[in-house]
């Protein structure tokens, strides 16, 4: 059996739009709505929001005696306003796990709880080389040495509060999406790239008139970056779960930006051997460009479901992403390979 073709233009358009929709964990409604409205083109799917705010999709299959699930997360790293400083700038608290230096100098949006969103930049408290000399290099990047400079006239806390900004407001980093020679460079390819793989797989199969062999539950989760995204939202009837999330590229890793990867072990231990073996076999059969890898500092929504008591086989696949939780990059080859793998899994 041949896999249906993938519409690369649709893929990149959807991915670019999703990347440009801010969705730090806890502030994901817009990204969930965008995904939901895209899937509305396929009336055989039934879409519903979970009470937690994720998007749960049911795709009827040829059979329903062993339903399956796939998940990808649309929440991203980000921050919240921790304090409004006496100088009118903002101290932040991180959402998700990353190092401050990976966002230093980045543009950002502060979603003021009342009033309009306010633009700004993430900067070191001692940012100017002409004023602070070697301290710009030497100062340790931590919560106390990073602040938001707002693009608004404010020099004290009162003026900042007058903009509608308060402690607890969400802050999103500019994704800076760029597509060049098949490379996609952006923040938050983790895990919007994989959400796009799921949506593209649905579109390809629907347009080819193909149905999954088993009833399939898709969860676009919204709390993965803080560890409990898919802890709920996958019904107990499901027998196996394939988490789709980025593969970690770097020294000593076998993953790269041109292949999909099967992750057999990460910080949470080994994935389900039987399901992993089946996915490897499927990749061989369908000649999908894949690698096998282990990620040293990594957890997934598959493990979140396991930890919450999910009694299913869990495996993890995804495209190689360079510089993860930093200014990330992947290639269309890895995205198409991942999408093919998803379709091959659904069809066998």
In this structure, the strands spanning 170-173 and 107-111 are antiparallel
Catalytic option among 224, 225, 240, 328:
224
Q: Which of 75, 147, 190, 322 binds Zn ion (CB under 5 A)?
A: 190
Question: According to the binding rule CB under 5 A, does residue 75 interact with Zn ion?
Answer: no
Residues 108-147 that bind Zn ion (CB under 5 A): none
| Continuous H helices in 86-242 | 129-132, 135-138, 157-162, 189-207
The answer to whether the CB of 298 falls within 8 A of the CB of 245 is no
Task: Decide whether 89 or 192 has the Cβ nearer to Zn ion.
Answer: 192
Residues 215-274 that bind Zn ion (CB under 5 A): 245
3-state secondary structure of 337: helix
Distance CA 28, CA 16 (A): 16
Task: Decide whether 224 or 240 has the Cβ nearer to Zn ion.
Answer: 224
Task: Decide whether 190 or 256 has the Cβ nearer to Zn ion.
Answer: 190
Taking the complex as a whole, how short is the minimal distance between the CB of residue 246 and Zn ion, in angstroms? 6
Taking the complex as a whole, how short is the minimal distance between the CB of residue 98 and Zn ion, in angstroms? 12
Taking the complex as a whole, how short is the minimal distance between the CB of residue 190 and Zn ion, in angstroms? 4
Active site residue 224: yes
The answer to whether the CB of 345 falls within 8 A of the CB of 269 is no
Cβ neighbours of residue 134 closer than 8 Å, sequence gap 6 or more = none
Taking the complex as a whole, how short is the minimal distance between the CB of residue 136 and Zn ion, in angstroms? 32
How many helices (H) and strands (E) the chain has is answered by 9, 19
Task: Decide whether 14 or 286 has the Cβ nearer to Zn ion.
Answer: 14
Taking the complex as a whole, how short is the minimal distance between the CB of residue 184 and Zn ion, in angstroms? 15
Number of residues that bind Zn ion (CB under 5 A): 3
Question: According to the binding rule CB under 5 A, does residue 191 interact with Zn ion?
Answer: yes
Task: Decide whether 190 or 333 has the Cβ nearer to Zn ion.
Answer: 190
Considering only the stretches 30-38, 74-82, 183-191, 337-345, report the one whose residues sit in contact with Zn ion under the rule CB under 5 A: 183-191
Instruction: Kindly report the three-state secondary structure assignment for every residue of 219-239.
Output: EEECCHHHCCHHHCCCCCCCC
Question: According to the binding rule CB under 5 A, does residue 328 interact with Zn ion?
Answer: no
Beta strands (DSSP E) in 275-345 are 290-294, 313-321, 328-331
Distance CA 205, CA 210 (A): 5
Give catalytic residue positions: 224
**Which residue ranges make up the site for Zn ion (CB under 5 A)?**
190-191, 245
């Amino acid at each position: 059996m041949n896999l249906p073709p993938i519409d690369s233009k649709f893929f990149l358009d959807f991915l670019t739009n999703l990347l440009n929709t801010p969705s730090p964990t806890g502030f994901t409604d817009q990204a969930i709505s965008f995904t939901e409205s895209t899937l509305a083109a396929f009336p055989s799917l039934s879409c519903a929001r979970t009470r937690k705010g994720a998007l749960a999709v049911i795709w009827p299959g040829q059979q329903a005696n062993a339903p399956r699930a796939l998940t990808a997360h649309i929440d991203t790293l980000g921050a919240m306003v921790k304090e409004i400083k006496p100088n009118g700038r903002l101290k932040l608290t991180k959402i998700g796990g990353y190092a401050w230096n990976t966002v230093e100098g980045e543009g950002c949006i502060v979603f003021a709880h009342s009033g309009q969103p306010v633009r700004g930049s993430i900067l070191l408290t001692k940012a100017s080389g002409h004023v602070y000399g070697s301290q710009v290099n030497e100062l340790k990047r931590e919560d106390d040495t990073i602040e938001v400079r707002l693009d608004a006239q404010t020099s004290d806390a009162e003026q900042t509060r007058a903009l509608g900004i308060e402690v607890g407001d969400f802050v999103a980093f500019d994704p800076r999406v760029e597509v060049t020679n098949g490379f996609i460079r952006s923040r938050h390819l983790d895990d919007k790239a994989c959400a796009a793989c799921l949506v593209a797989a649905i579109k390809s199969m629907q347009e080819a008139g193909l149905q999954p062999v088993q009833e399939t539950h898709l969860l676009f989760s919204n709390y993965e970056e803080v560890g409990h995204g898919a802890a709920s939202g996958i019904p107990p009837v499901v027998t196996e779960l394939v988490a789709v999330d980025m593969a970690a590229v770097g020294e000593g890793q076998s993953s790269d930006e041109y292949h999909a990867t099967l992750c057999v072990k990460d910080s949470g231990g080994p994935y389900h051997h039987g399901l992993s073996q089946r996915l490897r076999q499927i990749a061989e059969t369908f000649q999908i460009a894949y690698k096998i890898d282990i990620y040293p500092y990594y957890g997934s929504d598959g493990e979140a479901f396991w930890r919450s008591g999910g009694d299913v086989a869990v495996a993890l696949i995804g495209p190689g992403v360079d510089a993860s939780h930093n200014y990330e990059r992947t290639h269309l080859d890895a995205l198409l390979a991942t999408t093919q793998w998803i379709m091959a899994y659904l069809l066998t």
